[in-house]
Structure 1
Amino acid sequence: MRSVLIGNGVVIQHGGADYLNANIIQRGIDNIRAGCHPAHLYPRECADFVFALAKEHPAALNGDYDSYVFTTYDRMSLTDFKSRYDSARTYSATEIGFEDYFLLFELVHNKLSITNPERFNSRGVLRRMFLDSVFNKGKIESVHKQFSAGFVRWLKTHNHILTTNYDSNLEIATGLPVHHLHGSFNTLSEVYDPNSFRNQLEDDLLDGEKVDFDYPHLYSTCLVSYVGDLKSYSMTQSSLANTGMKKFVEGYQSNPDLRKQIDSWDESNDLVKRLKEAIQLKAEHPELEHSEQYPHEILGNISGTLEIVGLSPNNDGHLFEHILENKNITQIVFHHFSAQEAADAKQLFSSKNLSTRDVRDFWVDVNT
């Protein structure tokens, strides 16, 4: 069996420099300055916010924020963050990884003791600005027009196509199903789906947030985070919620004492009230479930050969952990862009049967 994992390098190869990190950030800033953005969904202050966070980049590298890290995964993320930049030089706003801005965001909010809902709302508008820039007014969805016939044929030789990309170019080009590990512009997040389980509850869980479906990509399942642990949590959240809810409902229906206890829960606490209502609602409508919007199990189920194209071995470690744990993956072919990437891949996959190949040679072969 053959599988392939595709990253953003494939979009850059065919869509050009527009999808490099620096240009994604610059485009977001330029769109705001030119007024070419949905100001009712993210304000012009987002551009100023990016520059304010960029000013904290040297402080974060030099350890000034070390005491404002409160979780294990944040501490690991900060360590990784420091390893990827040179503290002896200054980086412009466009040289900082756009997902790293979300780590800077958390560090600054920790230092200033800013909590929800302000923190949640500010994070949300920053996410929308960057997602809108990646979407590039929908142009990213046309990148497949630049795919060669040879590349499309090569894609079709695989049993499974997986990607960390948000766009739908792979499925359009091949006509095959594609596993979007980090979500898709074309899939509405359950948070905003009026027919979802969570939105059948009486409370307005959006807390009055106005949704404009003229911009569906801003309400999609796309995961944007500075740390793999948070992405992993988001990928498995629905599955865990369904399992937990099933156990609650089974007890509610089979144990009269538990049913009486749940029915008498104090509703003054919003979380308790929502859990109580959800249990009662699912007991009445067992078909209701949280939708599984991220195919998190696929990396544990594939077997045989896995080729990786367009991904850095230094990003998305949460995905590589699943690959390393899968003993049925017998060979990995890693297409690298530099000698350093090849060396890093060899270290990362030292326990696997690995071969590395210069991605430029790959493109020559599939395009001829």
Structure 2
Amino acid sequence: MKNLLVGNGINIQFGGYENTNEAIIVRGIKALEKDNFPKHIILENTEDLVKLIGYLFMEFKYMMNDNYNEFTLSNEEQLCLDDMRKRYKNRKNLILSDVGFEDYYLIYDLFCHKNNIVNPEKFYIREAIKSFFIHSIFNDGNVNEIYKRYPERLKEFFEPFNNIFTTNYDENLGRFTGKTIYYLHGAFHVMDYKYNKNSFRNMLSNKAADNFNIDSNYYYLYSNVLTTYSGYSKNFSINQNQQANEVIEKMAEGYKNNIAIKKDVDSWKFTDNEILKNMYDSIILKVNNEDLRFEEQYPVNEFKSISGELKIVGLSPNNDTHIFEIINNNSNLKQVTYYYYDKTECEVVKNLLNNFTVEFLPVKNLWKEYR
């Protein structure tokens, strides 16, 4: 089997500067002043968002100092902070748009720990930051038009692959190749299950969709797009519904066959604990309809099951360690080729994929071959 994994490098190659990290941040800030900025979805007071991004950048500078370690609350956060320091330590005269937009999620979380900002405020502000970046990446739909700049010969490169996976959110690969594309981190055109009024989640008495009035003009802001600083966090979101389905299925079986479990579950019916109430609703619904499942929107199982050959194009090893971990643990893969943009990526990938003898090729030669 021939498998391909594609990252944002292809968008930068053929879409140009406007798909770079710098452009995403600068465009996002400029968009706050436009009449069509969806402040009714993201945040009414856009000045607060500008100030927050500025505060976070100033806080980023303090985070380069080891004294900030006291504000990490988990090993994962500490590892991500150490990694961020390593990536930026030799860079001088940094400006706000030099910091990776996904790094701002880590900066925000640590800023909240330091200043005792907790949920629900922490959650709502984080969602506003996420939507701010998604709106900018979407770029008024221009991000879906990049395939028109692909050279026709590039179809020869894509043709042999049995499976094409991507961490991108756009539709370019599907429109260009006509093939099925597996979106590992979601896609702009795929609605998140919690907004689908017919989903299992919205059959519970505490309906997630009740809190939202969906504006279809900004459909991409209701998508299942994943964006955060940590591979661990992305992995959690990717596997969340699969794990929930496994638990609910076991509990439903226990409810039908074990009197003690049935008694416990029934006691949750009138609880004030929202999690237990949702568990009760889910189990009872599952008992009455075995076909009900939380929608598993990310093709992680398909990715785990690939075999044979894998080529990786345009994917930075930063922030997506969970993907490299899946690859490294796949004993059915016989050959891995990584197309690098910068040679410094090779050593990082070599460490992440230490179960393989990875073939490293310069991506610029690939683009030249099919131009």
Q: TM-score range by the shorter chain?
A: over 0.9
Distance 1:258 1:360 in 2: 60
Comparing 345-354 and 27-36, the one that deviates more: 345-354
The 5 A counterparts of 1:1-368 are 1-43=1-43, 44=46, 45-86=48-89, 89-205=92-208, 208-265=211-268, 266-367=270-371
- Distance apart, 1:206 and its partner CA: 5.4
Larger mean Cα displacement after TM superposition, 343-352 or 62-71: 343-352
Is 1:299–1:326's contact at 8 Å kept on the other side of the alignment?
no
**Letter paired with 1:306:** L
Counterpart contact for 1:53–1:104, Cα < 8 Å: yes
Give the Cα–Cα distance (whole angstroms) in 2 for the partners of residues 65 and 298 of structure 1.
Answer: 40
Q: What is the CA–CA distance in structure 1 between the aligned matches of 2:309 and 2:96, rounded to whole Å?
A: 39
Q: Quick one: distance in 1 between partners of 2:274 and 2:351?
A: 48
Contact 2:321-2:352 within 8 A present in 1 as well: no
Question: Secondary structure of the residue that 1:356 maps to in structure 2?
Answer: strand
**Separation in 1, partners of 2:211, 2:161:** 45
Provide the identity percentage. 34
Which SS does the other structure have where 1:312 is aligned? coil
Go from structure 1 to structure 2 and tell me whether the alpha carbon gap of 1:57 and 1:230 turns closer, same or farther (over 3 Å shift): same
Q: CA 1:330–1:276 in structure 2 vs 1: closer, same or farther (change >3 Å)?
A: same
C-alpha distance in structure 1 between counterparts of 2:106 and 2:350, whole Å: 28
Q: Given that residues 195 and 208 in structure 2 are in contact (C-alpha distance below 8 angstroms), is that contact kept between their aligned partners in structure 1?
A: no
**Per-residue deviation at 1:117?**
1.0
Deviates more, 1:225-234 or 1:39-48: 39-48
For structure 1, which segment, 161-170 or 248-257, has the greater mean C-alpha deviation from structure 2 after superposition? Answer: 248-257
- Give CA-to-partner distance per residue, 1:251-276, whole Å, 9 cap, x none: 11122342233112351222211111
In 2 relative to 1, CA 157–49 (structure 1 residues): closer, same or farther, beyond 3 Å?
A: same
Judge conservation of contact 1:62–1:87 (CA < 8 Å) in 2: no
5+ unaligned residues in a row in structure 2: which ranges? none
3-state SS of paired residue (1:291): coil
In 2, the alpha carbon distance for the partners of 1:150 and 1:77 equals 40
Amino acid at match of 1:32: L
CA positional deviation for 1:341: 2.1
Q: What is the RMSD of the two structures over their aligned residues, measured on CA atoms? A: 1.6
| Inter-CA distance 344–268: structure 2 relative to 1 (3 Å threshold) | closer
Deviation (angstroms), 1:207: 6.9
Contact 1:155 1:174 in 2 (8 A): yes
SS in 2 for 1:161: strand
| Structure 1 residues 190 and 307, CA gap change in structure 2 (3 angstroms) | same
| Distance in 2 of aligned mates of 1:63 and 1:234 | 30
Alpha-carbon contact 2:230-2:319 (below 8 Å) kept: no
